[in-house]
């Protein structure tokens, strides 16, 4: 081992010992005993550049915010070597404070954050809503929110002339829109899992474990699916000459999933935006981050310090299986009309179990692509056009996490203490960074549950940190 490599090794050992003991004395001793070599790596350990400094989550609690508190926090961050802060305002059970989220007073305090951070050379990343998940708030209208397919069924026997009002499907947040009214031959009770609002990707259809394989009488032939939408009026009244046989009328529509951003203070809580349409994230961005960008005066010409980024955290708001342009998007991406297969949303089989399974996979592929392109991709374009970077914890959602993370300027993973839970997300986000050329890979670092806070020795925490570094993380954002 040559002299330079020996110096490097000794320096790394000293830094490790200093971190374990919580003191800088071994490092100073090493500095006194080793001549300065001018080595960039060694110098970087002695005086880390601002880009290499760790960040922190900065939780604002339920409107309890003051100018003096903001300044005190930021000055403390700078004093101990923090490079930046990711702000999330949350409701964690503390008494409600005097400053409503995004009120004029709140926005004035945020301008103070921006000014003080610039003064101190700190960077600020603002979560794109109140709480710590998703993208939503009181500014999201029901038509702009996450959507799900709902339906009602009416059984009739023909031949006969049917005149009657079809029952309306479920309505959430007082919102509902019809998609289609279809008549299908009545089949048996065999059902398969459909595209539900559980966040999972991918998920294949499964046989009904109670009845085994479907019988021929459980299967609907594609050509027998009849569109009778033109025979229903705006009040749901259907007039239809029913052919001979037993028929099931499906009134299929969409409503909100009801998902809300959380854990948010009441003043910042509202519906989660539609993740499959650009209009959804555009409405959320206009409701908050565009206003903060205007308030602080940031532009495409990024200047050091202050508000520099906006964030979407880990996916915790369920999934959705519809958007207003779903049929057009599906046709363009998959190359065929989804209309004859819409009964599969109700768990029925159209054509065969294999065909229905392939249709469900095509729906999931379409949902995944729309989340990546219309949600994350459009959010990055909006953030960048307003002078901000985009960071994201891109996992747990109904999409492929690697290209989802690749849409961000800075993908982020996470890991928990003391178990090391969620460490695989670090490697996944590092992979997204390598594939898509993202040089900074962050991590929500050392997160803990209520029973674990502040009980672990720094030497034990360091082992988890080392593992995250080895998995490709190069920026810690310290959690509680």
Considering the domain architecture, whether residues 271 and 389 belong to the same structural domain is answered as yes
Q: What is the pLDDT, as a whole number, of residue 25?
A: 38
Question: In 3-state terms, the chain is what percent helix, strand and coil (to 5)?
Answer: 40, 25, 40
Residues forming beta bridges with residue 393, ordered by sequence position: 412
Please report whether residue 239 resides in a domain.
Answer: yes
CA distances from 181 to 167, 178, 193, 233 (A): 12, 8, 21, 11
Higher pLDDT, 300 or 166: 166
Kindly state whether residue 363 falls inside one of the protein's structural domains.
no
**End-to-end Cα, the chain, rounded Å:** 41
Band the pLDDT of 12: cuts 50, 70, 90. low
pLDDT at 121: 95
- pLDDT tens for each residue of 309-323: 999 999 999 999 999
263: burial class by Cβ within 10 Å (0-12, 13-18, 19+)? middle
Structure tokens at 159: 């031949």
Task: Based on the fold, state whether residues 27 and 130 are members of the same structural domain.
Answer: no
Take residue 28 and report the two structure tokens written for it. Answer: 């100073």
pLDDT of residue 364: 93
What is the chain's Cα-based Rg? 27
Average pLDDT of the residues in 466-472: 96
Residue 215 lies in a domain: yes
Summarize the confidence of residues 358-380 as an average pLDDT. Answer: 96
Q: Are 443 and 410 in contact (CB under 8 A)?
A: no
Number of domains in the chain: 3
324 falls within a domain: yes
**20-51 confidence digits (pLDDT tens):** 334 333 334 334 444 455 788 888 888 888 88
Letter string b/e over residues 336-368, b meaning 16 or more CB atoms within 10 A of that residue's CB: eebebbbbbbbbbbbbebeebbebbebbbbbbb
Residue 24 within a domain: yes
pTM exceeds 0.85, yes or no: yes
pLDDT of res. 32: 44
pLDDT at position 5: 55
Spatial contact of 281 and 275, defined as CB atoms under 8 Å apart: yes
Residue 302 is predicted with a pLDDT of 67
Specify whether 181 is located in the same domain as 109. Answer: no
386 plus 327 within the same structural domain: no
Q: Got the DSSP string for 201-232?
A: SS-----BTTTBSPPGGGEE-GGG-EE-GGGB
Q: Same structural domain for residues 152 and 131?
A: no
Residue 454 lies in a domain: yes
Per-residue confidence at 204, pLDDT binned at 50, 70, 90?
Answer: low
Per-residue confidence (pLDDT) for residue 133, from 0 to 100: 85
Same domain, 88 and 22: no
Q: Is residue 364 part of a domain?
A: no
Domain coverage including residue 32: 1-47
Per the domain annotation, does 33 fall within a domain?
yes
Query: Do the beta carbons of residue 16 and residue 35 sit within 8 Å?
Result: no
């Amino acid at each position: 081992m040559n002299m330079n490599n020996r110096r490097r090794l000794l320096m790394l050992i000293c830094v490790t010992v200093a971190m374990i003991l919580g003191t800088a004395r071994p490092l100073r001793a090493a500095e006194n005993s080793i001549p300065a070599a001018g080595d960039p790596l060694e110098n970087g350990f002695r005086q880390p550049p601002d880009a290499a400094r760790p960040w922190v989550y900065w939780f604002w609690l339920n409107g309890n915010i003051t100018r003096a508190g903001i300044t005190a926090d930021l000055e403390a961050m700078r004093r101990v070597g923090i490079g930046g802060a990711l702000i999330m305002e949350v409701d964690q059970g503390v008494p409600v404070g005097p400053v409503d989220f995004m009120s004029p007073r709140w926005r004035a305090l945020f301008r103070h954050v921006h000014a003080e951070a610039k003064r101190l050379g700190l960077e600020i990343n603002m979560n794109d809503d109140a709480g710590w998940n998703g993208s939503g708030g009181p500014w999201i209208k029901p038509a702009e929110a996450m959507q799900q397919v709902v339906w009602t069924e009416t059984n009739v026997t023909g031949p006969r002339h049917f005149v009657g009002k079809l029952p309306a499907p479920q309505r959430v947040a007082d919102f509902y829109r019809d998609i289609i009214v279809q008549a299908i031959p009545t089949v048996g009770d065999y059902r398969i899992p459909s595209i539900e609002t559980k966040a999972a990707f991918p998920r294949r259809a499964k046989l009904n474990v109670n009845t085994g394989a479907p019988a021929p009488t459980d299967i609907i032939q594609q050509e027998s699916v009849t569109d009778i939408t033109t025979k229903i009026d705006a009040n749901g009244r259907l007039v239809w000459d029913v052919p001979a046989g037993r028929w099931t009328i499906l009134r299929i529509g969409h409503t909100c999933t009801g998902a809300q951003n959380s854990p948010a203070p009441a003043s910042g809580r509202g519906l989660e935006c539609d993740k499959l349409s650009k209009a959804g994230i555009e409405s959320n961005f206009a409701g908050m981050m565009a206003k903060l960008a205007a308030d602080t005066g940031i532009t495409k010409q990024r200047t050091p310090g202050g508000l520099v980024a906006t964030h979407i955290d880990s996916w915790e708001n369920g999934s959705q299986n519809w958007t207003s342009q779903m049929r057009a998007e599906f046709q363009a991406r998959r190359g065929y009309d989804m209309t004859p297969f819409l009964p599969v949303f109700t768990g029925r089989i159209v054509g065969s179990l294999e065909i229905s399974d392939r249709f469900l996979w095509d729906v999931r592929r379409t949902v995944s692509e729309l989340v990546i392109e219309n949600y994350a991709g459009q959010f990055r374009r909006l953030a960048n056009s307003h002078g901000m970077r985009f960071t994201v914890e891109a996992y747990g959602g109904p999409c492929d996490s690697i290209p989802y993370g690749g849409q961000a300027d800075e993908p982020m993973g996470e890991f928990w203490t003391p178990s090391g839970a969620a460490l695989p997300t670090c490697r996944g986000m590092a992979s997204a960074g390598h594939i898509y050329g993202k040089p900074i890979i962050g991590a929500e670092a050392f997160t803990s549950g209520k029973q674990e806070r502040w009980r672990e020795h720094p030497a034990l925490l360091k082992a988890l940190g080392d593992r995250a570094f080895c998995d490709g993380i190069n920026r810690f954002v310290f959690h509680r």
